[in-house]
Structure 1
Amino acid sequence: MKLNPLTLTILTFCVAAFSGMKAASATSFSVIADGLYNAGGLSFGPDGNLYVTEAGIGGSGACVPPTSGQGDSLCYGTSGAVTKIENGKTERILTGLPSLALPDGTGATGPRDIQFDATGKPYVLIGYGANPAFRDRNLGYTDLGKIIAPDFNTNSWKPVADLANYELANNPDGGDVDSNPLGFAIDGNKLVAVDAGANDLLSVNTDGSNLQAVTTFPQDVLTNPIFPPSGTPSNEPAQVPSQGEEVGSQFPIQPVPSSVTKGPDGAYYISQFTGFPFPEGGAKIYRIGADGKPTIYADGFTQLTNLKFDAEGNLYALQYANESAWKGNLDGSVIKIAADGTRTTLLSGNGLESPSALAIGSDGAIYVTNRGDRPGEGQVLRIENTKSIPEPDSVFGVLAIGALGVAWLHKKIGLTHG
């Protein structure tokens, strides 16, 4: 049985519940945008407004096969967009961006993240989610799998870096050739991106030069993995073991890095979605310091989709679902990790479903793209009252960040949000 390193239908995303955490009843949220199509990353622009990407619904153009080679094809269109949220109103300010999706518009990949550099210049990351060899061969020239620099005034853009082609040419992790860039951060004159299909962290200068792999992420090995029952509906049936098929007690799964942010200690922090069967409690947060090697900063999560630090050094982690996504319960969570390792669940379920990204406002509120896997049903939520949340009874250990990292976190210095 060949397992897809990344399930596109689900990786518009997933998450896990923690024993010992308490959800905070004091937290509330309001919906500030609705009706989005496969909403992805979001970021505040230099004008103070919030910008969110929409991966779109593909289209009736040419198609590419999914990574596993089984299941429905992903078909091309130009339904991707960037939307601005200003004073409670939404406006699509960049349209016609490339998009791939299943026939019903789900499982979409296209515009996945947006960030602004120190001068206010925007950059947008476009996902892909298949073997890069099929991109130019099947679809012709397209900006899928690239980082672009858009001009909102002219509804145009220029490609900056071709991440999918880097995977095709180099395949840093040595596994199946697959590219699906999902998130990136801006660090000075560098764009630092995770490719969930290629299982690596890439760096490229903002002028497009010096594209290279910073590191790759190791496979995980599950002990006695839990799979969906035989016959469970799936767009990619190769992922569901057939009846009588033997699956070993030690089962390797793909790491699937899903986002990157820069910490107050100068290191990069990477969230892990994990590959099929999306083990509950199996996702980690990696830290990558100056030596370029990933170490585990915190673990015990499920299907993480995004990370952000606030100005006080608290790290916020977003779970797509609190159970393995194939179970069908897509209630997600926002989890705060203090510098001392204490974890607090700020919001779990209660309307938070399959969230894909978060941003921290200057007012301390948390903004989340909700229902990020649903065409026409995506939302942006503003989560309030987060400072009045009681801390949980138990503290989970944060693993090995070193004395320097701890010192930096406690200094509460400013940081570049990714």
Structure 2
Amino acid sequence: MKLKQFGITFLSVCIAAFTGTKAAEAASFSVIAYGLNNPRGLSFDPYGSLYVTEAGTGGSGACVPSPSAQGQSLCYGTTGAVTKIANGTQERILTGLPSLALPDGTDTSGPQDIKFDASGKPYIAVGYGSDPAFRATLGNTDLGKIITANFNTNSWTSVADLANYELVNNPDKGDVISNPFSLLLDGNKLVVVDAGANALLSAGTDGSNLNAIATIPSQTLTNPVFPTGVSPSPFEVQAVPTNVALGLDGAYYISELTGFPFPEGEAKIYRVGSDGQPTVYADGFTQLTDLAFDTEGNLYALQYANQSLWKGNLNGSVIKISPDGTRTTILNGNGLESPTALTIGADGAIYVTNRGDRPGQGQVIKIENPKSVPESTSIFSLLVLGTVSVTLLRQGKAKMP
């Protein structure tokens, strides 16, 4: 059984989750943008303005079969956008971007992430979340591609076609599904996570030399917990990689959501070095959607939900992993709901896209006093250098955002 799709569906008090840890100090946040349609990735430009991608709400155009919601279709529209947040205001500065969603505007793919080069040129990952063979039925669309945009003219240009790469190459040799979900700029290279393809890819900033750097492996569970109470065992769970971050050591670090049944404590962070082989850097997480390093080498991991999605509890967490392996929960639920991405500002604050699975209800929040207590190392093990809502439930290859 393989399910697939990642339609990524306030003041808070961090509490210690396990016996033996003391109560955490409160970490407060403020909402700095609201009313967003399925917000996803966010990034600062070189001038200090913050930008967030909105995957949109699909539309009334042509449709393609949903690879996971049996008998339902994902329909095309131009409701994707990029919003700029600066000087206490928010403004959609790029509109009309492609979007694919169920009729209620959930289970959405569209603009998923944004990054800037040193000159301020933006690159945007546009998701797709279906079989690339069906994409032509939607018309001439940039779903499943990396694009670069001109905010002044509300226009964009295609750079690399990841959906077509999946169609032709299928690097993980599994289901043929593509959903570019996050990207980073590493010198003159674009490094992209395709959550549908279970792959990490790279290309020149001009789109040249598109190739797979690594594939993220599935895992086999013994006696997994299912909604029905019936647990086929063993059961293969897809990786569904969601984000890539560049470490101070020059390696790539990849978060995974995991596919259905979204097992608690089974999501991992992988390290991919120059040999292209993924090794487990840290484990014991649940449904990760993003990673970010600060200047001191601390790694921040974002949990979309702390429990298996089918349980209906979408409280998420921000967890800090120090270079020595100590884990600290910065924020845990109480307003942090189905978060999809985070970034570290020059001010040291943590910025998070919140309610990333909801049309018209998405937010960007700013965590201003990130303090709390370490997690119990007996619960969350760290292996160093060696080792959305119902809509997100529909993600899997369970590939995915």
Name the counterpart of 1:99: 99
Residue matched to 1:406: none
The secondary structure found in structure 2 opposite 1:168 is helix
Instruction: From the superposition, tell whether residues 318 and 310 of structure 1 become closer, same or farther in structure 2 (CA, over 3 Å).
Output: same
TM-score (norm 2): 0.91
Shift of the 402–301 alpha-carbon distance from structure 1 to 2, 3 Å rule, reads closer
**1:393 to partner: Cα distance:** 5.5
Residue equivalent to 1:158: 157
Whether the 8 Å CA contact 1:39–1:371 is kept in 2: the answer is yes
Deviation at 1:69, TM superposition (A): 6.9
| 2:46 corresponds to | 46
Give matches, 1:10-409, under 5 Å: 11-12=8-9, 19=18, 24-68=24-68, 70-136=70-136, 138-229=137-228, 247-386=231-370, 388-392=371-375, 394=377, 396-401=380-385
Look up the SS of the partner of 1:135 in the other structure. helix
- 2-structure distance, mates of 1:319, 1:143: 29
CA contact (8 A) 1:42 1:52 kept: yes
Instruction: Give the whole-Å Cα distance in 2 for the aligned partners of 1:124 and 1:182.
Output: 10
Cα distance, 1:8 vs structure 2 = 3.0
CA contact 1:274–1:283 (8 Å) conserved in 2: yes
Query: For residue 191 of structure 1, what is the amino acid of its counterpart?
Result: L
The offset of 1:399, in angstroms, is: 1.2
* 3-state SS of paired residue (1:164): helix
User: Per-residue deviation at 1:217?
Assistant: 1.3
The answer to whether the 8 Å contact 2:98/2:111 transfers is: yes
Q: Deviations over 1:129-177 (max 9, x none)?
A: 00000001x1011000000000000000000000000000100111110
Q: Give the Cα separation in 1 of the matches to 2:27 and 2:218.
A: 36
Q: Give the CA deviation at 1:397.
A: 4.0
Deviations 1:286-319 (A, max 9, x none): 0001111000000000000000000010000000
TM (normalized to structure 1)? 0.88
Distance 1:28 1:173, change over 3 A: same
Kindly indicate whether the alpha-carbon contact (under 8 Å) linking 2:270 and 2:280 is maintained by their aligned counterparts in 1.
yes
Letter in 2 for 1:255: A
Q: CA deviation at 1:68?
A: 3.6
Deviation at 1:120?
A: 1.5
Determine if contact 1:18/1:301 at 8 Å carries over to the other structure.
no
Query: In the alignment, which residue of structure 2 is the partner of 1:407?
Result: none
Unaligned runs of 5+ in 2: 10-15, 388-401
Label 1:158 to 1:249 Cα distance change in 2 as closer, same or farther (>3 A). Answer: same
2:361 aligns to what SS in structure 1?
Answer: strand
Give the Cα separation in 2 of the matches to 1:392 and 1:374.
30
Q: 1:25 to 1:217 in 2, by over 3 A?
A: same
- State the AA in 1 paired with 2:251: A
Compared with structure 1, are the counterparts of its residues 300 and 391 closer, same or farther at alpha carbon in structure 2 (3 Å cutoff)? Answer: closer
Query: Per the alignment, do residues 39 and 322 of structure 1 end up closer, same or farther by CA in structure 2, a change over 3 Å counting?
Result: same
Q: Conserved in 2, the CA contact under 8 Å of 1:7 and 1:275?
A: no
Whole-Å separation in 1 of the counterparts to 2:123 and 2:77: 21
Describe the superposition over 1:76-103 as per-residue Cα deviations: whole angstroms up to 9, x where unpaired. 0000000000122110000000000010
Q: 1:237 corresponds to which residue?
A: none
**SS of structure 2 residue aligned to 1:291:** coil
Instruction: Please say if residues 30 and 383 of structure 1, whose CA atoms lie closer than 8 Å, have aligned partners that are also in contact.
Output: yes
Aligned-residue CA RMSD in angstroms? 1.7
Amino acid aligned to 1:93: I
Q: Percent identity?
A: 68
Letter in 2 for 1:389: S
Letter in 1 for 2:37: Y
- Contact preservation (8 Å) 1:18, 1:300: no
Q: Deviations over 1:212-232 (max 9, x none)?
A: 0001111111110111127xx
